[in-house]
Structure 1
Amino acid sequence: MHFKTILKSLKNKDMLKRIFIVLGILVAYRLLAHIPVPMGDAKTFKDAVSSLISKSDFTGFINLISGGGLASFSIILVGLSPYITSSIVFQLLSKAIPSLEELSEDGETGRRKINQWTRMLAVPLAVVQSIAYIYILYQSVVSSNTLSFTPTPRDWVVSVITMTAGSIILMWLGELITEQGIGNGISMIIFASIISQFPSTIGSLGQQLFDTKNGSLNLFGWLNLPVNPVLFWVALALLVVVILILYWLVKLNEAQRIITINYAKRIHGNSAYGGIKSILPLKLISAGVVPVIFATAFLSLPALVGQLISSMDKENAMAKTISEIFTMPNASNFKTLYPNGINERWFIYPALYFLLVVLFTYFYTSIIFNTKEIADNLQKQGGFIEGVRPGMTTANYLEKVMTRLNLFGALALGFIAMIPFITDYVAIMLSDAPMGLSLSGTGLLIVVTVALENLRQLDSRALMVTYDDYK
């Protein structure tokens, strides 16, 4: 990374213009997060959303990547999840349908066409998700007897259209950011969404830190600091742990196995070409955070079904049990679900979560990394791995390497997803209450991945605008 070049590029007017445009778009996005959905009393629905987030890890994840849009019941409540879902669907279909696979390999034209179809599919998905969110929230409010009005069909239509429009506007803002060439727009919006949770967390921690009702911190008998002594050391330990985790996540995100590719030397007439070496980098975590999204969505389904059955039949014991088992244990629902303290049922959700993350990592990597296709392309280009025959032998070799990488990658991704549960368990053992971190290990992984990718793109743009300065 050329940080000196990036600083030097800030003297370029075009570079500054692009950066300010991106910052302006991100500010506009954060303003949208505070415009409520026109559906009666916004505060009533905000309370229902807060209750829903505490019961589901998936809705908590959606709230995280929407920058609190779900918790504030804003018009961007649906967020970018329809676009992300649509992208994953087309990514899977392009491997299952030969015509789509051929189109995806047809250069820039094919990719543009698939991107257009992805955006088109995201619109009906946004409509469906908007209806689902409104219906679930409405049922939640009705069951708690806090609804002061009955929505008319017009209210439903306006709310769904508004939420769908909010999702489409986010897609458009993402495209505008991408056009500036200093980062992926969708990733940058998700990055801004997660980062936007920091000020409230830091403010809450700071307020508790400077609360000296139970005494202040005395250092070495001569320096008295106006801070809570217990919370000071807890905050310091937490800061050290976060720094270590960030360092580990950077190393984990950049970890890759380098395979050397040799190209045979060829002679054509009087010219000789080939005889060079290249590399094939295989990432430790090729699947990114998609397995976590799949796992949270999969585990949220039983809890959602249980809640819907309970709202219709409050005496249904099985629905209540299913809902409790598949509800993510956290700080907001711990006292309700586990009034007598932690028990065996507390470990069921984390164990299933870890197992599903590992399984979906293997599944998604096998979809996006086609070893036979890579082996065929290498053979066509005259490339080979030293000591491995071209063709199926190369495909089997790559499959073996990826299986080994997947083992460590899947376990590492599973551990990242477990960070909130580990911290809560330690806090429960120490203070009989979960810590309730607002940022999970998955959120940190997204922040690290997007930050590194955007830094690379910014570095490339900086090299481009300062190229003429090199002599």
Structure 2
Amino acid sequence: MKNFFESLANIWKIEELKNRILITLGILLVYRFGAHVTLPGIDATQLHSLAGQTKNGIGSILDMFTGGAFSKASVFALGIMPYISASIVVQLMGIAIPYLQKLQKDGESGRKKINQITRWLTIAITLVQGPGYIYNLYRTLPQNAFLLGFDSFSFLFSSVLILTTGTIFAMWLGEKITDKGIGNGISLLIMVGILARLPQAFIQEFSSTITNNNGGPMLLVIEVIVWLLVIIACVLLVMAVRKIPVQYARRTTIGDFEADMMGGNRQWIPLKLNASGVMPIIFAQAIMFIPAALAGLSQSETSQSIAGAFSNMFGFWYNFVFATLIVVFTFFYTAITVPTNKMADDLKRSGGFIPGVKPGVDTSDFLDHIMSLITFPGSLFLALIAVFPAIVVSFGVQQSWAMFFGGTSLIIMVGVAIDTMQQINSYLLNKHYDGLMKSGKNRKAVA
């Protein structure tokens, strides 16, 4: 513990790292401030019914992703969900569209073009979701809540324009954190929104168990212990790796190589149990908004039944589809982020090989096979944690507090926190300090 606090103190000795952290905190404060700025033309004192709509069910997920901006009719009410949806669409189209496949192979220049396509698609999605959000306000809020007149075109046009601008600005803030700050900006914006709801959720559960005598203090202690155990499980899921041994050959004569089997040149390829991180959760959660929205467009009995099933985030069919999507997206995202072909080619060019496996295609197939074997249990574990809130709700836990027993919220918080700590850790180790995630005696910093 002492070394941990010493590492925290060492952060401020590295000027670049300190500036990045301050920039990140400043941008997060701007984002949180914007989440409380109500759309022009809406009476902020008349939002009680909107807050009630997002208290439970899938509405609470929307509100969580936007950090409470959805229930406040804020300029950031749509948050960065349109950007996430656009990213999903672009990555899915990359499988079938040759032009996007070519861009994915063009390195940095291709990545910039893909980002530009994603931004334009984000604007298009926001222009579609914006009117839908305003229509929901018309249905939910009383008429006297609209200062510019109920159902007026001027309010609709200005609000959609502001919501689109808010989403673009939030996207820009996330990209600035990634470029100038520390951690993944988009993920951090989601995480701070989730953390903003944690104190209120705990207070509600405390009130239910203690004040209302719903189980007493012992039940609350058990819930906290289970919560901590789930956090540990999430950390293990994010950090778990399988190491593949790699042997490097050494040149003995011109054109001849001999394997160094004494272990001096042996290295390891770390393959993560969950190489895709929190992205399958985010992708699957974005997709889960679609069935209820589409079914709600029809008034038929079947459509209303589907809308009801997919609006209940603690119901069986919602969680079954949610878990299935997580497994699918875990394999999909791992396939596009872990290029086994490139890894095999790099090993072959550098004179490396996996003992017992031929270099080239055989090595690529071997790595792909290993990734499939470790990704499958990893995806099932990820899906189990994602649907765990629905399990604890059946034991009487408040829905707002249950959302932090795994699910989207806890996995995102743990994944983003570890990713950010790893980046801070690399700065500390590069300056010859002990990292946050490594114990030991501090070494003298190199100027």
TM-score range, shorter chain: 0.7 to 0.9
Aligned position for 1:305: 294
TM-score, normalisation: structure 2: 0.82
Q: Is 1:396 matched with 2:365?
A: yes
Who is 2:319 aligned against?
A: 350
User: Structure 2 matches for 1:35-434, cutoff 5 A?
Assistant: 35-42=37-44, 47-48=49-50, 50-51=52-53, 54-56=56-58, 59-94=59-94, 96-97=96-97, 100-138=100-138, 140-141=139-140, 149-208=149-208, 211=211, 230-266=215-251, 276-310=265-299, 316-330=300-314, 346-427=315-396
Which residue of structure 2 aligns with residue 337 of structure 1? none
SS in 1 for 2:319: helix
The number of equivalent residue pairs is 428
SS at match of 1:400: helix
Partner secondary structure for residue 197 of structure 1: helix
Cα separation, 2, equivalents of 1:119 and 1:44: 34
**Per-residue deviation at 1:421?**
0.7
Worse-matched range after superposition: 41-50 or 61-70 = 41-50
Residue 279 of structure 1 aligns to a residue in which SS? strand
Q: How far apart, CA to CA, are the structure 2 residues paired with 1:319 and 1:125?
A: 23
**CA distance change for structure 1 residues 361 and 137 in 2, over 3 Å: closer, same or farther?**
farther
Query: How many percent of aligned residue pairs carry the same amino acid?
Result: 34
Q: Does the CA contact (< 8 Å) of 1:39 and 1:151 recur in 2?
A: no
Q: Between 388-397 and 95-104, report the one with greater CA deviation.
A: 95-104
Counterpart secondary structure, 1:84: helix
Bigger drift between 123-132 and 157-166 goes to 123-132
What is the deviation of 1:415? 0.4
Residue matched to 1:449: 415
TM norm structure 1: 0.78
CA-to-aligned-CA distance 1:226-273 (integer Å, 9 cap, x gap): xx5833112101110111111111111101111122233246869999
Letter in 2 for 1:458: I
Distance (whole Å) between structure 1 residues aligned to residue 393 and residue 209 of structure 2: 20
* Distance (Å, rounded) in 2 between the aligned partners of 1:94 and 1:387: 35
Task: Please report how far the alpha carbon of residue 19 of structure 1 lies from its aligned counterpart in structure 2 after TM superposition.
Answer: 2.9
1:391 to 1:77, Cα distance in 2 relative to 1, 3 A: same
Which secondary structure does the structure 2 equivalent of 1:265 belong to? Answer: strand
Distance 1:415 1:279 in 2: 30
Alignment-derived partner of residue 9 in structure 1:
11
* Corresponding residue number in structure 2 for 1:220: none
Please state how far the C-alpha of 1:23 moved relative to its aligned partner: 2.0
Q: Give 1:36 deviation, angstroms.
A: 1.1
Q: Tell me the C-alpha RMSD between the 2 structures.
A: 3.5
Does the CA-based 8 Å contact 1:263-1:384 persist in structure 2? yes
**How many angstroms apart in 1 are the aligned matches of 2:68 and 2:253?**
62
Counterparts of 1:135 and 1:63, CA distance in 2: 17
Deviations 1:36-75 (A, max 9, x none): 123544565662464267453xx54332222111122211
Counterpart CA distance in 2 for 1:204 and 1:131 is 33
Q: 1:416 Cα shift? A: 0.9
Q: Which amino acid aligns with 1:281?
A: P
Match of 1:462 among 414, 428, 431: 428
Alignment gaps of 5+ in structure 2: 434-443
Q: Which amino acid aligns with 1:289?
A: V
| Amino acid of the structure 2 residue aligned with 1:359 | V
User: Deviations 1:175-216 (Å, cap 9, x if unpaired)?
Assistant: 3323444322222222211111112123334445663xx7xx
Distance 1:393 1:245 in 2: 39
In 2, distance between residues paired with 1:356 and 1:239? 29
The residue identity in structure 1 corresponding to 2:311 is T
The one-letter amino acid paired with 1:174 is: G
In 1, Cα distance between the equivalents of 2:347 and 2:171?
36
Cα distance in 2 for partners of 1:285, 1:364 equals: 10
Partner of 1:219: none
SS of the residue aligned with 1:261? strand
Residues 188 and 450, structure 1, Cα contact 8 Å, conserved in 2: yes
1:265-286: per-residue Cα shift (whole Å, max 9, x none)? 2468699999633322221122
What SS class does the counterpart of residue 394 from structure 2 fall into? helix
Answer with 275-284 or 163-172: which moved more. 275-284
Q: Distance in 1 between matches of 2:381 and 2:150?
A: 48
Change in 2 beyond 3 A, CA 1:95/1:281 = farther
**SS of corresponding position for 2:72:** coil
